[in-house]
Amino acid sequence: MPTGIAIRDVREQLFEAADRVLLKDGPSGLTSRAVTTEAGVAKGVLHRHFEDFDAFLAEFVLDRVDRMDTQVVELLRTAGSGTVTGNLSEAITAVFGSVAVAIVALITFRDELRARLRETWPAGVPILTEACIMIASYLTEEQALGRIAENADVESLAPALIGSAHLLFADRTGDPPRAEAVHKMVSTVIGGVVRA
C-alpha cells in the first residue's frame, strides 16, 4: 500500500522552499525543518533525497549557479546594442536581485557547506565567481565590438563590478538599491574604458 502521494520534482520543490526561507529568515533560519515545512513535505523527504542537510545545501547552491546560464545568454545577447553601462546595470540587478546575496551569506555562515562546495568548486564563492565570468565574457564581447577600450583589463573589471555590486545589495533588511545607484556604480567602475 502506498504511504502517501508521490511528489513530482521533489528536489526543485525543496530548492524553491529553501529560496523562500533564505530570503525571509536568512542563513540562520535555513534548517532542514524550515525547508520541509515551507515545502509542505515530511522532514524525511529531504533525507531520502540527500545524504544530509549540508549535501542538500551544496546541491541547492550549485543549482542556483547553473540557473545563471540563462542570465549569461541574455547579457551576451545585448552586446552591441543599448549602452554597455545600461546592459551591465540590468544584468547586475538581475543577479543580485535574486537569491544570490542570501546565498553568499549562507556560504559564509556554514563551514561544512563551504567544505562541501570545495569538493566541486575549488575557488571563490560559486555565485560570485559565476557572475564574474558572466561579466568578463560580456565585456570581452563588447571589447571585440569596439565599445570597450582595446587595452581594458576585463578580468579585473569584472570582479570590481561584482564586488561593488555585492556591497550595494548586501543589506538584506533595507530596500534594494535604486536603479540610479546601480547605474552610477557601473558607470564609475567602467567609465574610463567605455567607448562612444
134: its cell numbers: 558572466
CATH number of 34's domain:
1.10.10.60
Q: Domain check: are 44 and 90 in the same one?
A: no
* Residue 88 domain flag: yes
- Residue 17 confidence (pLDDT): 95
Mean pLDDT for 2-9 is: 52
CA atoms of 40 and 31, how far apart (whole Å):
14
Q: Domain check: are 80 and 10 in the same one?
A: no
What SS3 state is found at 110? coil
- Residue 122 confidence (pLDDT): 65
Q: Domain check: are 32 and 84 in the same one?
A: no
* Residue 54 domain flag: no
* Residue 195 domain flag: no
The better pLDDT of the pair 173, 151 is held by: 151
Nearest partner of 10 among 18, 1, 20, 22, judged by Cα: 18
Which structural domain, as residue segments, surrounds residue 148? 59-190
Task: List, for residues 138-163, the tens digit of each pLDDT value.
Answer: 999 999 999 999 999 999 999 999 99
**Arithmetic mean of pLDDT over the chain:** 87
Confidence of residue 2 (pLDDT cuts 50, 70, 90): very low
* Residue 196 domain flag: no
Q: Domain check: are 76 and 173 in the same one?
A: yes
- Which range among 61-75, 84-98, 170-184 has the greatest average pLDDT? 84-98
Task: List, for residues 176-193, the tens digit of each pLDDT value.
Answer: 889 999 999 999 999 999
CATH number of 169's domain:
1.10.357
List the alpha helices (DSSP H) in the chain: 10-29, 32-39, 43-49, 53-66, 68-77, 84-96, 100-109, 111-120, 126-144, 154-169, 179-190
DSSP state of 194: B
Which pTM value belongs to this model? 0.79
pLDDT value at 36 more than 80: yes
Q: Domain check: are 125 and 92 in the same one?
A: yes
**Number of domains, the chain:** 2
